[in-house]
């Protein structure tokens, strides 16, 4: 039974081609029927690559594969399947990744270590990689620079809409483009999510610079979002740089010549991260939590994430209840420095509690109207220092229970 599209869905933007990047999507019949579940990408020679992966201590075989391939610094192909995560599959899982890489390397005429692999779906079932290997040659024949949306659809699991984003930036005098696609809906938490994200740019940047920019950008985007506090075993963000734009060389991520590119990459990552939250399993509302007045920025972020992960806050929002008392509870349980008597909480721009007590006679009308909307803003001021941080989440609804109480059946 197909899931209803999230009420927070956004249309797929127009993603212009990136020189040196081609995608193809097809049906390998790994788990789903009558939908695409396999994506192949091929990159021009000398494409640089950077990656950030799950912090889960039980990562899938594809994450191990990518971590081992990353130091090579170049990527020629990417293979992604949906429906089976190839996690906790022992030796069979390792064999699946190497045989998939061998097959793709044969098609792309590269080394297996220049093939990157990601899988998403059920954990603990052996991945029938023979179906992937059998399907790859036909996909290779249909590679296309305009297939970004098809690729975004081919990597979906419980996602209800495909997710893409595009930005341009200047490096020196040269305009470069960045495109990205992502999938993710549940098992979404820092660090990071059942979240796959693939980004490509025509910028020419060395791998260490790419890695530095990507790691920082992921920390400021995906690592500030949570759907359900569960951290996937498969989270993967890969950034590919073909160099086709021919910009002047830059050797250091901190070079001011990269400021515009770094800002565009950050914006693209946050765009994709928020699309994942908008597609959170069962989500009816997008929630932003801004924390100020913390003893540090990192403390502020931990407080924001404690609010974002609180089932009681999330169910209150689902019920359109401006229950700031539960926000107070969540701030207090974060374990971060907080003083009840300096704490202020607001919703939708109205401060409901100030310095440890309810604001007498505050106007509830705008708050009630705000919580009936699709985008909810929570503000917390700890009153202790200058630390600031933001987290994003969605509400917790019957839809989440429906989806996750019967995922395998």
Binding site members for substrate: 157, 183, 194, 281, 404, 409
Using CA atoms, how far apart are residues 11 and 60, in angstroms rounded to an integer?
31
Using CA atoms, how far apart are residues 307 and 297, in angstroms rounded to an integer?
16
When the beta carbons of 33 and 57 are compared against a second copy, the nearer one is: 57
Q: Which of residues 41-70 bind a second copy (CB under 8 A)?
A: 55-59
Q: Which residue of 23, 43, 222, 400 would you call a contact of a second copy, by CB under 8 A?
A: 400
225 is catalytic: no
Contacts of 2 (CB under 8 A, 6+ apart): none
Element (H, E) at 380: strand 375-381
Q: By CB under 8 A, tell whether 407 contacts a second copy.
A: yes
Q: Which residue of 74, 166, 174, 404 would you call a contact of a second copy, by CB under 8 A?
A: 404
Smallest gap from Cβ 327 to a second copy, in A, equals 9
Q: Which residue of 11, 33, 34, 91 would you call a contact of a second copy, by CB under 8 A?
A: 91
Instruction: Bin 315: left if φ > 0, else alpha if -120 < ψ < 50, else beta.
Output: alpha
Q: Which of residues 7-46 bind a second copy (CB under 8 A)?
A: none
Q: By CB under 8 A, tell whether 368 contacts a second copy.
A: no
Q: Which of residues 251-280 bind a second copy (CB under 8 A)?
A: none
Q: By CB under 8 A, tell whether 87 contacts a second copy.
A: yes
Crossing angle for the helix pair 259-278 and 207-219, to the nearest 10 degrees = 50
Q: Which residue of 10, 138, 312, 368 would you call a contact of a second copy, by CB under 8 A?
A: 312
Using CA atoms, how far apart are residues 166 and 152, in angstroms rounded to an integer?
13
Smallest gap from Cβ 338 to a second copy, in A, equals 4
Scored b (16 or more CB within 10 A) or e, 279-292 reads bbbbbbbbbbbbbb
When the beta carbons of 207 and 330 are compared against a second copy, the nearer one is: 330
Using CA atoms, how far apart are residues 378 and 368, in angstroms rounded to an integer?
13
Using CA atoms, how far apart are residues 47 and 241, in angstroms rounded to an integer?
5
Using CA atoms, how far apart are residues 262 and 221, in angstroms rounded to an integer?
13
When the beta carbons of 311 and 366 are compared against a second copy, the nearer one is: 311
Instruction: Bin 397: left if φ > 0, else alpha if -120 < ψ < 50, else beta.
Output: beta
Smallest gap from Cβ 38 to a second copy, in A, equals 21
Q: Which residue of 326, 346, 378, 394 would you call a contact of a second copy, by CB under 8 A?
A: 326
Q: Are 347 and 367 in contact (CB under 8 A)?
A: yes
Q: Which of 36, 120, 158, 194 is catalytic?
A: 194
Q: Which residue of 141, 251, 361, 408 would you call a contact of a second copy, by CB under 8 A?
A: 408
Q: What is the DSSP letter of 272?
A: H
When the beta carbons of 117 and 327 are compared against a second copy, the nearer one is: 327
Sign of CA dihedral 74, 59, 398, 323: negative
Q: By CB under 8 A, tell whether 285 contacts a second copy.
A: no
Q: Which residue of 30, 237, 331, 394 would you call a contact of a second copy, by CB under 8 A?
A: 331
| Cα 76–chain centre separation | 23
Instruction: Bin 109: left if φ > 0, else alpha if -120 < ψ < 50, else beta.
Output: left
Q: By CB under 8 A, tell whether 409 contacts a second copy.
A: yes
Q: Is 24 helix (H, G, I), strand (E, B) or coil?
A: strand
Smallest gap from Cβ 44 to a second copy, in A, equals 35
Using CA atoms, how far apart are residues 99 and 324, in angstroms rounded to an integer?
53
Binding residues: 157, 183, 194, 281, 404, 409
Smallest gap from Cβ 358 to a second copy, in A, equals 6
Q: By CB under 8 A, tell whether 318 contacts a second copy.
A: yes
Smallest gap from Cβ 369 to a second copy, in A, equals 16
In the stretch 213-232, what mask flags binding to a second copy with x, by CB under 8 A?
---------------xxxxx
How many residues belong to the site for a second copy (CB under 8 A)?
71
User: Distance between the two ends of the chain, CA-based, in angstroms?
Assistant: 11
Task: Give the Cα-Cα-Cα angle 332, 337, 342 (nearest 5 degrees).
Answer: 75
Q: What is the DSSP letter of 225?
A: B
When the beta carbons of 247 and 334 are compared against a second copy, the nearer one is: 334
When the beta carbons of 149 and 235 are compared against a second copy, the nearer one is: 235
State the catalytic residues: 194
């Amino acid at each position: 039974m197909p899931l209803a599209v999230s009420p927070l869905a956004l249309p797929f933007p127009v993603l212009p081609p990136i020189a040196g990047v081609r995608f193809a999507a097809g049906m390998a019949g790994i788990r789903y029927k009558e939908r695409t579940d396999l994506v192949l990408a091929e990159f021009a020679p000398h494409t640089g690559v950077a990656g950030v992966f799950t912090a889960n201590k039980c990562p899938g075989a594809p994450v191990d594969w990518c971590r081992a391939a990353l130091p090579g610094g170049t990527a020629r192909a990417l293979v992604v399947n949906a429906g089976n995560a190839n996690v906790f599959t022992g030796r069979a899982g390792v064999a699946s990744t190497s045989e998939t890489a061998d097959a793709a390397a044969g098609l792309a005429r590269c080394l297996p270590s220049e093939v990157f692999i990601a899988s998403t779906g059920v954990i603990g079932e052996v991945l029938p990689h023979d179906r992937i290997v059998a399907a790859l040659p036909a996909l290779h024949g249909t590679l296309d620079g305009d297939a970004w949306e098809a690729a975004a659809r081919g990597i979906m699991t419980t996602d209800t809409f495909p997710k893409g984003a595009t930005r341009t930036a200047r490096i020196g005098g040269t305009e470069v483009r960045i495109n990205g696609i992502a999938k993710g809906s549940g098992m979404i938490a820092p660090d990071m999510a059942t979240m796959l994200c693939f980004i490509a740019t025509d910028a020419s940047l060395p791998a260490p610079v790419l890695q530095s920019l990507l790691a920082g950008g992921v920390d400021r985007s995906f690592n500030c979002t949570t759907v359900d506090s569960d951290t996937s075993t498969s989270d993967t963000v890969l950034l590919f740089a073909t160099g086709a734009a021919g910009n002047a060389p830059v050797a250091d991520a901190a070079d001011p010549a990269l400021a515009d590119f770094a800002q565009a990459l950050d914006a693209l990552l946050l765009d994709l991260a928020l699309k994942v939250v908008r597609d959170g399993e069962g989500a009816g509302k997008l929630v932003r939590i801004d924390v100020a007045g913390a003893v540090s920025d990192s403390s502020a972020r931990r407080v924001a994430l404690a609010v974002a992960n609180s089932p009681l806050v999330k169910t209150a929002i689902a019920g359109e209840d401006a229950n700031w008392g539960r926000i107070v509870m969540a701030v207090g349980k974060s374990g971060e420095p907080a003083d009840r008597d300096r704490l202020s909480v607001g919703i939708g721009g109205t401060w409901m509690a100030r310095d440890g007590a309810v604001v007498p006679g505050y106007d509830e009308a705008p708050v009630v109207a705000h919580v009936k909307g699709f985008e909810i803003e929570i503000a917390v001021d700890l009153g202790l220092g200058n630390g600031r941080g933001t987290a994003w989440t969605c509400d917790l609804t019957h839809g989440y229970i429906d989806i996750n109480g019967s995922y395998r059946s």
